[in-house]
């Protein structure tokens, strides 16, 4: 068996072992290099996703800010309108209670129903001469207050509808980007 391990065979065996060692080392380093490339690509992809998420978040915040500003402006306008209308209604109710302004209803006919209210013939300027009945001051003031409350509710509903529309527009602006 010693003839088998001659210097030539040993030399080729050593060269073969070195070649195998170099090959294994290259394969391991190559695999590590591929893994590093994959890790780098994954990290870059993840960073791009985080940047995109950040941009989307900023767009949403911007749209929300615009929506809040629009709703705040609507609310301010609503408060101003409510103040004006409440002042106007309070003046009208005060005039009705004082008797300086009077409310009338047609006397007799379908509008009066079976009440048979006593009436007077309208003879003033702009009158068509129809018989009318003037409501008592307290009744007229109560009716005006009731109508004013109904108007307030209508304005509140309008504000709610405007807010819903604004939110809808904000959502549409967000989904378009």
Model confidence band, residue 117 (pLDDT cutoffs 50, 70, 90): low
Q: Indicate if the pLDDT at residue 66 is higher than 70.
A: yes
Inside any domain, residue 14: yes
The whole model's pTM is what? 0.56
**Joined tokens for residue 74:** 């609507």
Inside any domain, residue 16: yes
Inside any domain, residue 2: no
Q: Indicate if the pLDDT at residue 44 is higher than 70.
A: yes
Model confidence band, residue 112 (pLDDT cutoffs 50, 70, 90): very low
Q: Indicate if the pLDDT at residue 147 is higher than 50.
A: yes
**pLDDT for the residue numbered 49:** 96
Inside any domain, residue 24: yes
**pLDDT for the residue numbered 171:** 73
The radius of gyration of the chain from alpha carbons, rounded to an integer in Å, stands at: 45
Total number of domains in the chain: 1
- Which bin fits 6, alpha (ψ -120 to 50), beta or left (φ > 0)? beta
Task: Look up the domain containing 113 and give its range.
Answer: 7-176
Inside any domain, residue 100: yes
Outline where DSSP puts E strands in the chain: 104-106, 120-121, 131-134
Burial readout 104-141 (b: 16 or more C-beta within 10 A, e: otherwise): eeebbeeebeeeebebeebeeeeeeeebbbbbebeebb
Inside any domain, residue 1: no
Strands lying side by side in the sheet with 131-134: 104-106, 131-134, 120-121
Inside any domain, residue 11: yes
Inside any domain, residue 171: yes
């Amino acid at each position: 068996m010693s003839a088998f391990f001659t210097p030539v065979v040993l030399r080729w065996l050593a060269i073969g072992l070195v070649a195998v060692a170099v090959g294994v080392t290259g394969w391991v380093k190559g695999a590590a290099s591929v893994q590093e490339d994959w890790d780098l690509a994954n990290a870059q992809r993840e960073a791009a996703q985080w940047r995109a998420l950040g941009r989307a978040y900023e767009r949403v915040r911007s749209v929300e800010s615009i929506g809040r500003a629009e709703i705040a402006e609507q609310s301010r306008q609503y408060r101003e309108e409510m103040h004006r209308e409440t002042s106007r209604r309070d003046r009208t109710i005060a005039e009705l209670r004082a008797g300086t302004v009077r409310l009338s209803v047609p006397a007799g006919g379908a509008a009066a129903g079976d009440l048979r209210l006593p009436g007077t013939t309208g003879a003033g300027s702009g009158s068509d001469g129809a018989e009318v009945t003037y409501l008592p001051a307290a009744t007229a003031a109560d009716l005006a207050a009731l109508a004013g409350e109904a108007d307030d509710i209508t304005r509140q509903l309008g504000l709610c509808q405007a807010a819903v529309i604004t939110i809808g527009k904000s959502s549409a602006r967000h989904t378009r980007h």
